[in-house]
Amino acid sequence: MISKVRSHVTQNEPLLFELSSPGKKAYQLPELDVPPVNASKALGAEHVRREIEGFPEVSEVEAIRHFTRLSTWNYAIDLGLYPLGSCTMKYNPRLNEAVARIDGLAWAHPYQPEALSQGAMEIMGALERALLEITGMDAVTLQPAAGAHGELTGILLVRAYLESLGNPRKKILIPDSAHGTNPATAAIAGYAVENIKSNDRGMIDLELLARVVDEDVAALMITNPNTLGVFEEQIARIAEIVHSKGAQVYMDGANMNALVGITRPGDFGMDVMHLNLHKTFSTPHGGGGPGSGPVAVKKHLEPFLPLPRLTAGESGQRFDYDRPRAIGRVKAFYGNFGVIVRALAYIMAHGGEGLRNATMDAVLNANYIRKKLEDYYELPHRAPSMHECVFSDARQAKQGVRTMDIAKRLIDYGFHPYTVSFPLIVHGALMIEPTETESKRELDLFVEALIAIAKEVEEDPETVLKAPHGTRTGRVDEVTAARKPVLRWKPAD
Amino acid sequence: LRYLPKSDSERREMLEACGVSALDDLFSHLPPDVRLNRPLALADGQSEYEISAYFRAQADQNANGYASFLGAGVYNHYRPVLVDAVVSRGEFLTSYTPYQAEISQGTLTTIFEFQTMICQLTGMEVANASMYCGSTAVPEAGMMAARITGRNRLLVARSLHPEYREVLRTYARYQGMVIEEFGYAAGHGTVDLDDLDRRLDDKTAAVVLQSPNFFGIVENLDAAAELAHRKGALLIDVFTEAVSLGLLEPPRQADIIAGEMQSFAISPSYGGPYAGVIATREKYIRQMPGRLAGETKDSHGNRAYCLTLSTREQHIRREKATSNICTNQALIALMATVFMTVYGKQGLRELAEQNLAKAHYLASRLPVKFTGPFFNEFVAAFPGKSPETINGMLLDKKIIGGLSLGRYYPELKDCMVLCATEMNTREQMDVFAEVLAQ
């Protein structure tokens, strides 16, 4: 009855520290070709440690088996659909991994002479140009390390710009559907946060917006499509309202996978935005990073972009440090170059038409899931879906089954759950983003699983409430973990 | 379009199910005036072969086949092959933040091991599961100190990496935080404790210093900690060269440690991605930013791990969170975890001893600027010559020399910071010395 998975033996594995035995090694260094130095003499005995207490001592075979066994306890895109809403868990092409490991790129030191870094700088320039074409913006920095870091950079740019006009202003408007990083970012940039309520279609309420935008507002942070997967149809009007009071519009580009090749933020009035290379541009999520969060801006914000700026000079590319109005640095060096390489490889593989086709397939997949499931799950907002769709657990809640329970049961059917209980404006949300890199077969299996669960909820809710049943690890006690934190291994007394 | 796994007939079937006749109909609700009515002006999609060739050609425009003595926050260490064998596994590479603990025990367990090893290395009680890099870990540590002490002033050593100081200033500006720098002892190269003492006051949240510092010199943390603590300030110790912890006494005197893990099997990659880390005392956990994995039990009573103390984080606390960080550097932290496993207790020490020996060999043949104890980096001074001239002569011998310090320290304009690791041979160092002798 469950089509995608069957039960499978997995191996137990202790922690590294429990595997250790004194004297075991997984390394061999070359013989030292210079005279040895007495550490106590060179550094002072008080600076030299006796040993690294508790550090692992294992053999090479045990090391590789350890990590391989642990790896089998993870779900991953390589195993199937990973429909986390707003995370854009698309296939990570292996070509990107290969090119990022080419010696001349992977082993380039950030301080090697610019004349010996022209290839790396050309790659950065090529990605900058592609991102400008995709977003319709005027300038871009590749320095930020992830989406939230890009948000901070973007809001600092807004602040520096408004300051240059004489008043940095006091607050940032954020819709109640926004990612948590938006308000956290505004706070770090020294702004007060004012939440604005979405209308009953899950969109920004224009009348409300017009009422709250005033000369104290520095910016509106908006996600488009928003976290319901809905395109803000009045986006141009929203930008007008915000601009009419001299404020800026920041666009969180987390959902850019719905827009590439179809519409451009620069063409609908956005002043500044970030992109997530690890979402839209396929670089691997790696269990939680690394990411990369380039920030693209309109011309008026360009003088404030972080140092240094890549510029094409007569004798090749160089970094310009002479930028007196820049907000400074947001990170050492030039950005997550290894991620930049991967994103460019992805863009080159698709080309302009291919990127547009990818967007269309992403939207098709989300709409297909929506259509197939709307008879079984409550769809709280009926506006057309872009790249993701959001259901609620309203029907299942009548049987005492909540979105988290359905998510856990989905694991038994061989899928990673959707994003649970977000956005906050939908009570008991199931936020599903399939991405374009899923086959019809995989989508059909997923739909079949969620329909089967909806039936289980009616006939046998206990099975769902106690899920997952088929995993090597049962439901994890997160309450105890937080109440009595154990955050490192310690030897038994 | 090899990344799109659908046939045309499947697409048609799906469109039909959606009740539309063409893909474009899915976008008919978008206002026409915001639609892009032309194809993106990007080159056509290319084959795997062509893309590989492009990147190889770019790599050829970079330095190739050069020996290098660059350090200054990014170090050239051997990368055991096991590292890529592990991080290339799709289960680690293509998963995300382990919110669903039941199917993420692999990532969660490795994070728990990472946290433990960072504690063992640093002598701290807790460590987070990574920050973006060392340079952003420092302002996060500074903001953490401000929350703990309720104070807003940071005293920062000039011998902290100059780019880290720039990042700190960017972050601090709108936090109502005051950044003031204190100097280094001109002869010894360690922090100027008298200058620090003079500047410390009861508004100081923390003293921030780096050890080994930007000049490679090992700091006297006892003295700095004592001065800071006497005024109720915290000590934040920063490290950029993690290999030094294989040999150096753990910085237990510090209250918060902000470090860069790049040395642990993370390739230099022209400046990133790297992984930062924050470690601290247990009593400060709730003020610490970043993800944490904790031990607990599952419904069968077996040991299990999950993300924990997330009430500190932005997805729960929003504008009241300890940081806005979300995606961090999990896969990079895994590289460091595999590295620490491969070298282990004996190997990390032996590696550190080799680094010490190599750097001291190179230093024995060059004019060393400071008298303080150094690990694998040191400052060389060439009075009357410009470091650029020397580096130019070295380039002719296929050697990349050190980082010129004039840009960051006008008073050290005839100096460069040099690094020697296990990757540098005696032969390379002899050539270096010969070039200087010319």
Shortest Cα distance from A283 to chain B (angstroms)? 9
Shortest Cα distance from A371 to chain B (angstroms)? 6
Give how far Cα A224 sits from Cα of A197, A202, B227, Å.
16, 12, 51
| DSSP annotation string for A298-316 | -GGGGGGSPSPEEEEETTE
Give how far Cα A94 sits from Cα of A283, A342, A374, B83, B270, Å.
10, 9, 35, 17, 21
Nearest to A109 among B57, B74, B422 (CB): B74
Nearest to B42 among A70, A352, A468 (CB): A352
Q: Does A328 touch chain B (CB under 8 A)?
A: yes
Q: Which residues pair with A46 in a beta bridge?
A: none
| DSSP annotation string for B95-138 | -----SGGGBHHHHHHHHHHHHHHHHHHT-SEE-S-BS-HHHHH
Which residues of B, range 124-143, sit inside 8 Å of A by Cβ? 125-127, 129-130, 132-136, 143
Q: Which residues pair with B155 in a beta bridge?
A: B180, B207
Chain B residues with CB under 8 Å of A151 CB are: 324
pLDDT of residue B314: 86
Q: Which of A71, A86, A158 would best serve as a mutation to test chain B binding (most B beta carbons within 10 A)?
A: A71
| B208 in Cβ contact with B156 (< 8 Å) | yes
Phi-psi label, residue B266: left if phi above 0, alpha if psi -120 to 50, beta otherwise: beta
Cα A100 from Cα A122, distance rounded (Å): 14
Question: Strand, helix or coil at B207?
Answer: strand
Cross-chain residue pair B345–A36, CB shorter than 8 Å:
no
pLDDT of residue B311: 86
Nearest to A106 among B19, B143, B267 (CB): B267
pLDDT, one tens digit per residue, over A449-464 is: 999 999 999 999 999 9
- From the list B106, B141, B109, B149, the residue with the least C-alpha distance to B122 is B141
Question: Strand, helix or coil at A4?
Answer: coil
Shortest Cα distance from B267 to chain A (angstroms)? 6
Angle, nearest 10°, between helix axes B8-18 and A337-373?
Answer: 50
Nearest to B35 among A263, A289, A306 (CB): A263
The widest CA-to-CA distance across chain A, in whole angstroms, is: 77
pLDDT of residue A7: 87
Structure token pair of residue B388:
């650029």
pLDDT, one tens digit per residue, over A54-86 is: 999 999 999 999 999 999 999 999 999 999 999
Structure token pair of residue A114:
């610019």
Q: Which residues pair with B247 in a beta bridge?
A: none
Q: What pairing do the DSSP bridges indicate for beta strands A419-420 and A429-432?
A: antiparallel
Give how far Cα A344 sits from Cα of A137, A294, A352, B228, B346, Å.
18, 13, 12, 47, 41
- From the list A74, A470, A178, A263, the residue with the least C-alpha distance to B108 is A74
> A485: cis peptide before it, omega within 30°?
no
Phi-psi label, residue B20: left if phi above 0, alpha if psi -120 to 50, beta otherwise: beta
Nearest to B343 among A27, A365, A367 (CB): A27
The residue written with tokens 């451009």 in the block is A264
Give how far Cα B398 sits from Cα of B269, B404, B428, Å.
20, 18, 10
| B351 in Cβ contact with B244 (< 8 Å) | no
Radius of gyration of chain B (CA): 25
Cross-chain residue pair A411–B353, CB shorter than 8 Å:
no
Residue A493 has pLDDT above 80, yes or no: no
Say yes or no: ipTM exceeds 0.90.
yes
| B140: nearest CA partner in chain A | A188
Determine which helix (DSSP H) or strand (DSSP E) holds B350, and give its type and residue range: helix B330-364
- From the list B137, B108, B123, B135, the residue with the least C-alpha distance to B334 is B108
| A143 in Cβ contact with A308 (< 8 Å) | no
Shortest Cα distance from A410 to chain B (angstroms)? 11
| B354 in Cβ contact with B422 (< 8 Å) | yes
Which residues of A, range 35-74, sit inside 8 Å of B by Cβ? 35-37, 39, 42-44, 46-49, 51-58, 60, 63-64, 66-68, 70-74
Q: Residue range A433-452: average pLDDT?
A: 98
Distance of alpha carbon A415 from its chain centroid, rounded?
Answer: 20
pLDDT of residue A460: 97
Structure token pair of residue A30:
């070359």
pLDDT, one tens digit per residue, over A96-155 is: 999 999 999 999 999 999 999 999 999 999 999 999 999 999 999 999 999 999 999 999
Determine which helix (DSSP H) or strand (DSSP E) holds B181, and give its type and residue range: strand B178-182
Nearest to B120 among A53, A103, A336 (CB): A53
| DSSP annotation string for B6-25 | --HHHHHHHHHHHT-SSGGG
- From the list A65, A63, A67, A71, the residue with the least C-alpha distance to A24 is A63
Shortest Cα distance from A354 to chain B (angstroms)? 6
Cα A242 from Cα A226, distance rounded (Å): 17
Which residues of B, range 385-414, sit inside 8 Å of A by Cβ? 391, 395, 400, 403
Radius of gyration of chain A (CA): 25
pLDDT, one tens digit per residue, over A225-236 is: 999 999 999 999
Nearest to A42 among B127, B135, B360 (CB): B360
| A194: nearest CA partner in chain B | B319
Q: What is the DSSP letter of B210?
A: E
In a 10 Å sphere around its CB, with 0-12 CB exposed, 13-18 middle and 19+ buried, how is residue B5 labelled?
middle
Q: A488 falls in which pLDDT band (50, 70, 90)?
A: very high
Residue B127, φ and ψ in degrees, nearest 5: -140, 145
Whole-number percent of chain A with pLDDT over 70: 100
Q: Which residues pair with A173 in a beta bridge?
A: A194, A220
Chunked into runs of 10 residues, chain B (438 residues) has average pLDDT values of 95 98 96 96 98 98 96 98 98 96 98 98 97 98 97 98 98 91 97 98 98 97 98 98 98 98 98 98 96 97 96 86 90 98 98 98 97 98 93 97 97 97 98 91
Q: What is the DSSP letter of B45?
A: P
Determine which helix (DSSP H) or strand (DSSP E) holds B334, and give its type and residue range: helix B330-364
Neighbours of B64 (CB within 10 A): 14
Structure token pair of residue B97:
């933040």
Mean pLDDT of chain B: 97
Chain B residues with CB under 8 Å of A24 CB are: 344
Nearest to B327 among A13, A291, A487 (CB): A291
Nearest to B116 among A71, A102, A488 (CB): A488
Residue A1 has pLDDT above 80, yes or no: no
Q: Residue range A4-15: average pLDDT?
A: 93
| B129 in Cβ contact with B291 (< 8 Å) | yes
Write b or e for each residue in B197-227: b if 16 or more Cβ atoms lie within 10 A of its Cβ, otherwise e: bebbeeebbbbbbbbbbbbbbbbbbeebbeb
Q: What is the DSSP letter of A192?
A: E
Residue B234, φ and ψ in degrees, nearest 5: -90, 160
Shortest Cα distance from B187 to chain A (angstroms)? 16
pLDDT of residue B319: 87
| B138: nearest CA partner in chain A | A331
Shortest Cα distance from A139 to chain B (angstroms)? 16
pLDDT, one tens digit per residue, over A147-189 is: 999 999 999 999 999 999 999 999 999 999 999 999 999 999 9
| A257 in Cβ contact with A279 (< 8 Å) | yes
Cross-chain residue pair A360–B314, CB shorter than 8 Å:
no
Cα B336 from Cα B130, distance rounded (Å): 11
Q: Which residues pair with B210 in a beta bridge?
A: B238
Which residues of B, range 218-277, sit inside 8 Å of A by Cβ? 218, 245-250, 267-273, 275
Cα B267 from Cα B71, distance rounded (Å): 13
Structure token pair of residue A355:
């990127």
Question: Strand, helix or coil at B307?
Answer: strand
* Contact pairs from chain A to chain B, CB under 8 Å: 678
| DSSP annotation string for A354-421 | HHHHHHHHHHHHHHHHHHHHTTTSB-S--SPPSS-EEEE-HHHHTTT--HHHHHHHHHHTT----EES
